[in-house]
Structure 1
């Protein structure tokens, strides 16, 4: 017989091959406690009993009165690491477990020592590569060009708008075109910037903030409020009218039919054109489909005689003479009706003038309309209104209507600054769920049951 104490004291042999079994059967509480203490010390520092007095207190003997100049401060800043690399630095005082990490050496570090010594020796003797000389020359040229274009700070001895301040002769030339000037200045190296005309142009003549309807006030007059309600009611009636029209053209056109009647109608429709059960008696006198019969008699090609042709020619000449005489008579009569003709011309001119004015007004109205900037058409927002019961005499008790952000957004769309768009609701992603091999119910039961065996 084995005692109970010996059974409890005996170590259980378990497999620690996989991570799941390792985490399950290994006790790491002491490691976690140690790491937690370390983190606590990093946040608040070690306990005061362990720190010496020299580290806790400092005796100032010499006052720090040294003031650094601006250049010295810049040098100190330059030696410090950049702030953008702070994310790459470790935020804890725990040392890196990997002492030696792989790092890509710089170009200078990869150079051979003999090559470095040779370069230093050549530089001391005045032997410099051509690319370094050209780079220094280009750098100096760029600095001179910057200084040439920009005046010194505090120098107001010249007028910016005078022609004397222009350095090149092409800039002072009055006969040269702007394109020629730009072309020449680009060759010299002066950048000529051109502002795009569309930036300064207004997208729409409409004001940024439109004045609201007077009926929207918190204390409107009766006439203004009734006018606003009438506009809203008319708009609502239009919507109802369109809705009724759609129902009339779609649902209203068809009547409801029972299933029996539907089946009968279908049988009649499908049996259309088929021979009936009674049969049809075709009369013997009726003509067959193969025979061809005509209603009109056949046409004969009868040619005209010489006399008929001569008469036709004479008639054409007489008709021509008659038209010429009629035209001459009209010219004579038009001389006597000059006054009437001038009145007709005036009427035509007045009509054209009215049409021009109408066209001009239409163009001006079209400018105020919103342009088609995308597939979605712009729709005016609904008017904000209060009923007579909701109106209060002060702003404190007034119920808010609408949203300021939506109003500004719609205003930008109306003024062709933004393209009209629809509200897109986010679709829920279809997440595929599955259970891990070690997290199934059967596996859990087996592992738990196995531990108590």
Structure 2
């Protein structure tokens, strides 16, 4: 038997007490059901086809074993589905608009303002829209002409249209070229060298670049006299360049400063600091100390007379006249030199144009054969290889190697762009200091050995 609880009477004076002691769960459940019906639709309105399913097959129906879909079929089936990212945008609520006669409001910017009307009027007066229409018409015409031109260029009447499609061109044996043999069987019997795809053409820079640079004939262990002398001249020129650069660096760095001895340096310092002893002059002692002596003698203000001023004025006028005559004479000579100046300017421009063309052609040739820039470092400059005439043996077995073969091949790969150029990084060795730890067990021989070792270093 259920026990009926006695209702507890509480004060409901304030809004807080009403919220605390009033049970509104039934109202909230009713409103929640009503909102759910508004979203999903009412059962009375829904048709029977959505609510019920008619079972016509029965219980004893064998379930059809379906093959699992392949990955490709699964992807194709998913194409018709709505993506997950767009499912949020699809409206799921079936709540009708409470205001059925809602006025259509244009979005911001669609309604023309007074300023936009004035701007439109000015544009029409200027004829901007007509210019745009003419330009669009012109562009359409140009595109059409370009399309026609491309179609006309594609027509090549000297090409064999059926040559590429013939089975013999594909490498299929003539014995298998029949209607009853399938294409798979025909391609299966194609020779392996014909079945492979043709290699694409190499890049322009790779084609023009040398694969392996051949060494100079004078490097041979038994070269001719002429080739050996040519290589010798190249090595001499290379060494002269290095010596010249070293002399230049010596001249602009160390050679700019004069060398002085310690005594000369001290004498210069004494002269600059004015520390040398002044020579004793007995004439200075003569005379009283109270007498004032000026460093500069007094100057008399001697006035020029009228004749001197006139002569000075005449000299200035004559100097000005000669200057003006010289300028006028130069103007006349420059007029006669105009043709010569014009010819010199034209010849200079022609020579500059020739030099510019030569530089551009050289730059283009260098760019064609230049290796690709794989990183910021540049490959090391190749040093000329040379064998001294005294070391030439004429026999390969008795010839001493002058270079490292592995290093030479590595630098060759860098020069040809197959490997990125590297930079030699030298690590500094740490100078470890040694200390002598004195103790009561240290002998005199150990101390002497440490001192001698320190002196040698």
Q: Report the TM range for the smaller structure's normalisation.
A: 0.3 to 0.5
Query: Larger radius of gyration, structure 1 or 2?
Result: 2
When normalised by structure 1's length, the TM-score is: 0.34
TM-score, normalised to structure 2's length? 0.34
